[in-house]
Amino acid sequence: MALCCEILLVPSKMLENSLPKCKKTPWTRARRWVCFLMLFLVMGTSALIFYNSSPQVSWPLNVWTIKLLPNQSHNNVTPSVSSIPPADLSQSEYFVPYPHQYHFILDEPNKCQQESPFLVLMIPVAPHNREARDIIRSTWGKEIRVLGQVISHYFLLGLSKEEHEKKPLEEEILKESQRHHDILQSDFLDSYRNLTIKTMVMFEWLSSHCPNTSYAMKVDSDMFLNIHNLVNMLLKAPRHLYMTGQVLRGVYVLRDSTSKWFLPVSAFPESTYPSYALGMGYVFSLDLPKKIVEASAHVKAVYIEDVYVGLCMRHLGLSLTDPPHGLFIATIPFFRGSCYWTSVITTLLENSNQLANVWITYQTQTQSGC
């Protein structure tokens, strides 16, 4: 079983190769049948997921997933406003210090206005992650004119939290910024728990620096991005009050304290989140940043960045738009056609190193007439 079924655990790439050969004793034959049965089940499930057509049910399958939980009312969790303790929750670990006047210590104050790009890509990345920035600069970040439209990108950084390596790192980042002119660094502490601050300073920056830009996309550094398909979609998209991406609706708030995205009833009494676009990649028209920043004054800044943007959108009374089917993909699918990378807009990769390889495949597919 172990030998033959190892195939079930290896990455999908290896599955495209042949099955391992097993000696044919009656016992191995029996095991093979069990293996094939399991393979069949796995493939059937994957096929279901792959062909799933409704965005509401095509839930991402990896750690990004905010799981759809069964109706929790039987757990005696009866969320209501009255369950908020009277104490001030602003110091709570579930909120970030925002609104607050953060300052950019590395900036590109005139570039966006001068270039007037059609689309700006905003990429949150940790200060020390030079490698991810370089991979993006040599893959989708180097596409500066697509379908006649000007595209530009900026990396969003906070302050490094590693005290001991702070000085040399800040000097490296300064050099990198002088060389590439694509770094925006603000003076909040860069941490996973502070991503909401990063997103909000992004909206602040966009609203004041890009007067002649139509769209922006917030996109994580471990994403594959097909800018050609993105621009093609945007050329037909609404110009105002528009936000799209992988839109989740009616997702239950995670009340399990071991979850990465745990929110207790005391911090967030509603049982479901408002509709929101998954944070790994969402696109919006450039009239939204100013409105979202304004809304943030009235909406408590919960640490889950994409949920917070959804809360601000609800405060504004704005709804999100589903993208055309199959363009925003949360994980590399188990089965991929030979033109997969030319057919999507985004796909979440395992890490940003994978991007370099995927990019080569993407270019091969483009050249082969996909």
Nearer to ligand NAG, 191 or 354 (CB): 191
Nearer to ligand NAG, 97 or 326 (CB): 97
The helix or strand, by DSSP H or E, that contains position 202, with its residue range, turns out to be helix 195-209
160: its two tokens: 């490094």
Place of tokens 């104050």: 109
Among 103, 166, 193, 239, binds ligand NAG (CB under 6 A): 193
For residue 181, the tally of other CB atoms under 10 A from its CB is 12
Task: Give strand pairing partners of 322.
Answer: none
Q: Does 116 bind ligand NAG (CB under 6 A)?
A: yes
Are 139 and 355 in contact by the 8 Å Cβ rule? The answer is: yes
100: its two tokens: 């607050």
Rounded least distance, CB 213 to ligand NAG, Å:
8
For residue 360, the tally of other CB atoms under 10 A from its CB is 12
Using the contact rule CB under 6 A, the part of the chain among 183-191, 219-227, 314-322, 354-362 near ligand NAG is: 183-191
Nearer to ligand NAG, 283 or 332 (CB): 283
Using the contact rule CB under 6 A, the part of the chain among 29-37, 139-147, 185-193, 352-360 near ligand NAG is: 185-193
Residue 366 to residues 71, 226, 340, Cα–Cα distance (Å): 45, 11, 10
Q: Does 353 bind ligand NAG (CB under 6 A)?
A: no
Using the contact rule CB under 6 A, the part of the chain among 56-64, 173-181, 187-195, 322-330 near ligand NAG is: 187-195
Closest C-alpha to 288, from 179, 183, 200: 200
Among 95, 140, 188, 203, binds ligand NAG (CB under 6 A): 188
Nearer to ligand NAG, 193 or 325 (CB): 193
Among 62, 138, 212, 266, binds ligand NAG (CB under 6 A): 212
Among 28, 61, 97, 143, binds ligand NAG (CB under 6 A): 97
Among 14, 22, 47, 189, binds ligand NAG (CB under 6 A): 189
3-state SS assignment for residue 55: coil
The helix or strand, by DSSP H or E, that contains position 200, with its residue range, turns out to be helix 195-209
Q: Residues 66-95 vs ligand NAG: string with x where CB under 6 A?
A: -----x-x----------------------
Counting beta carbons within 10 angstroms of the beta carbon of residue 255, is it exposed (0 to 12), middle (13 to 18) or buried (19 or more)?
A: middle
Nearer to ligand NAG, 158 or 323 (CB): 158
Q: Residues 309-348 vs ligand NAG: string with x where CB under 6 A?
A: ----------------------------------------
Nearer to ligand NAG, 256 or 350 (CB): 256
Counting beta carbons within 10 angstroms of the beta carbon of residue 92, is it exposed (0 to 12), middle (13 to 18) or buried (19 or more)?
A: middle
Residue 292 to residues 128, 165, 241, 310, Cα–Cα distance (Å): 29, 35, 11, 10
Closest C-alpha to 268, from 301, 312, 309, 315: 301
The residues binding ligand NAG (CB under 6 A) are 71, 73, 96-97, 116, 188-189, 191, 193-194, 197, 212
